[in-house]
């Protein structure tokens, strides 16, 4: 009997990996490179993709990225690039990829632009009755508020992520402290400041992976501050850097079924409203009176293994790092109609 030949195996999927690296640039701003990734994170993602029979092409998102893309054809890009400069920097790489008609993981340039602007995100979500702390934007070239604002309040740059600009002293309890914090932060970060009512209560972050009805919303992870004597508890840059000493995580969090369902359904609604794609992380505060407040969203969450919240949440819920990267990639492949790769 004639042996039936086996079909040729599919060629490896060519995946471009776009990223911005920390370069240890000397700066007066202590968290200047907070949003950028280390080479260890890049290599961890590369290894996870290679575990899925992908051929990975590293594409650092420098000024010559368009030339690199023209010379190194890829089937899809796994994007973690934060961009180089400006309020719309997270949109730079997705816009280039769309210009070249290259499929990519994650949200598009419009969603990333909106989400990086914290005040703009709040304005959009408020039209859908998503509750958020009262806030005010102080222009970098404008006057500081003279009064009438609810205190205590947190002061943070309006267009930053990774807790950049949120120092250990970020809460103002009176108008004099508020003016001083605003003036200091504008001087350092040279951008508009968001002044937001401080919500006393429990802090949660929620990870989402997938799209549409197939999107998986992980149970909320609670950030619990070890020093309960602190007057104000904020997830500052320093806290994130020293999380093993200053906080602990609980996932799933100890919540009533009603409270957990509320957080999960609100996260899913926000993800849909902002048209997020493939993955995102959303932060909430549950006030002492039971009111749930949206704080901010990161549709380009960090993927540093053993450090970033998003892979921590996945691991707490039984999804290891390789499986998480695979899930993000395959969500994008299905969305782009590349079914033959999984």
**Do 237 and 163 form a contact (C-beta atoms < 8 A)?**
yes
pLDDT of residue 187: 87
Residue with tokens 């409270």: 259
Indicate the domain borders of the chain. 14-106, 134-198
| CATH 3.30.1490 corresponds to the domain 134-198 | yes
Q: Do domains 14-106 and 134-198 have the same CATH topology?
A: no
DSSP string, 231-253: SS----HHHHHTHHHHEEEESS-
pLDDT of residue 215: 96
Q: Record the tokens describing residue 235, joined without a space.
A: 């997830």
**Do 298 and 121 form a contact (C-beta atoms < 8 A)?**
no
Spatial CB neighbours of 275, under 8 Å, sequence gap ≥ 6: 107, 108, 110, 111
Residue with tokens 């902002």: 274
**Do 249 and 223 form a contact (C-beta atoms < 8 A)?**
yes
CA distances from 132 to 15, 135, 199, 284 (A): 38, 9, 10, 9
Task: Report d(CA 256, CA 266) in Å as an integer.
Answer: 15
pLDDT of residue 238: 66
Query: How many C-beta neighbours within 10 Å does residue 275 have?
Result: 12
SS3 labels along 314-340: HHHCCCCHHHHHHHHHHHHHHHCCCHH
**Do 32 and 16 form a contact (C-beta atoms < 8 A)?**
no
Q: Which of 263, 297, 282 is nearest to 121 (CA)?
A: 297
Which letter, b or e, does each residue of 23-50 get, where b requires 16 or more Cβ atoms within 10 Å of its Cβ? eeeeeeeebbbbbbbeeebbebbbebbe
DSSP state of 101: T
CATH among 3.40.50.150, 3.40.309.10, 3.40.50.20, 3.60.10.10 for 14-106: 3.40.50.20
Which letter, b or e, does each residue of 219-232 get, where b requires 16 or more Cβ atoms within 10 Å of its Cβ? bbbbbebeeeeeee
Task: Report d(CA 337, CA 330) in Å as an integer.
Answer: 10
pTM as predicted: 0.89
| SS3 state at 55 | strand
**Do 221 and 312 form a contact (C-beta atoms < 8 A)?**
yes
Pairing of strands 221-225, 216-217: unpaired
Write out the chain's pLDDT in tens, 342 residues.
556 655 445 678 999 999 999 876 545 555 455 677 899 999 999 999 999 889 999 999 999 999 999 999 999 999 999 998 888 899 999 999 999 999 999 999 999 999 999 999 999 999 999 999 999 999 988 666 655 568 899 999 998 865 555 666 688 888 888 888 898 888 888 889 999 999 999 999 999 999 999 999 999 999 998 876 666 677 665 666 666 667 899 999 999 999 999 999 999 999 999 999 999 999 999 999 999 999 999 999 999 998 899 999 999 999 999 999 999 999 999 999 986 554
DSSP state of 339: G
């Amino acid at each position: 009997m004639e042996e039936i030949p086996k079909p040729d195996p599919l060629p490896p999927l060519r995946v471009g990996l776009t990223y911005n690296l920390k370069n240890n640039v000397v700066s007066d701003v202590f968290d200047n490179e907070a949003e950028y990734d280390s080479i260890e994170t890049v290599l961890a993602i590369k290894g996870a993709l290679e575990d899925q029979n992908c051929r990975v092409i590293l594409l650092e998102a420098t000024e010559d990225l368009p030339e690199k893309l023209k010379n190194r054809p890829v089937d899809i890009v796994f994007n973690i690039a934060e961009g180089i400069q400006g309020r719309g920097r997270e949109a730079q790489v997705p816009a280039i990829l769309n210009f070249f008609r290259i499929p990519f993981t994650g949200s598009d340039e419009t969603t990333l632009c909106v989400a990086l602007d914290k005040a703009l995100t709040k304005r959009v979500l408020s039209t859908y009755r998503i509750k958020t702390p009262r806030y005010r934007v102080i222009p970098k070239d404008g006057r500081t508020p003279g009064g009438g604002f609810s205190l205590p309040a947190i002061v943070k740059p309006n267009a930053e992520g990774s807790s950049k600009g949120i120092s250990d002293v970020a809460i103002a309890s009176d108008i004099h402290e508020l003016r001083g914090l605003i003036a200091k932060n504008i001087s350092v970060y040279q951008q508009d400041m968001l002044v937001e009512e401080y919500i006393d209560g429990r802090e949660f972050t929620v990870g989402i992976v997938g799209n549409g009805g197939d999107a998986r919303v992980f149970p909320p992870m609670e950030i619990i501050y070890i020093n309960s004597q602190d007057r104000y508890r904020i997830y500052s840059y320093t806290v994130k850097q020293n999380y093993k000493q200053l906080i602990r995580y609980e996932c799933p969090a100890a919540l009533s079924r009603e409270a957990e369902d509320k957080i999960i359904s609100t996260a899913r609604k926000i993800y849909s409203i902002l048209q997020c794609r493939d993955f995102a992380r959303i932060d909430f505060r549950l006030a002492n009176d039971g009111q749930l407040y949206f704080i901010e969203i990161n549709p380009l969450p960090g993927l540093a293994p053993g450090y970033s919240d998003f892979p921590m949440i996945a691991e707490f819920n039984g999804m290891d790092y390789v499986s998480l990267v695979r899930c993000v990639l395959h969500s994008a492949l299905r969305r782009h109609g590349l079914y033959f790769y999984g």
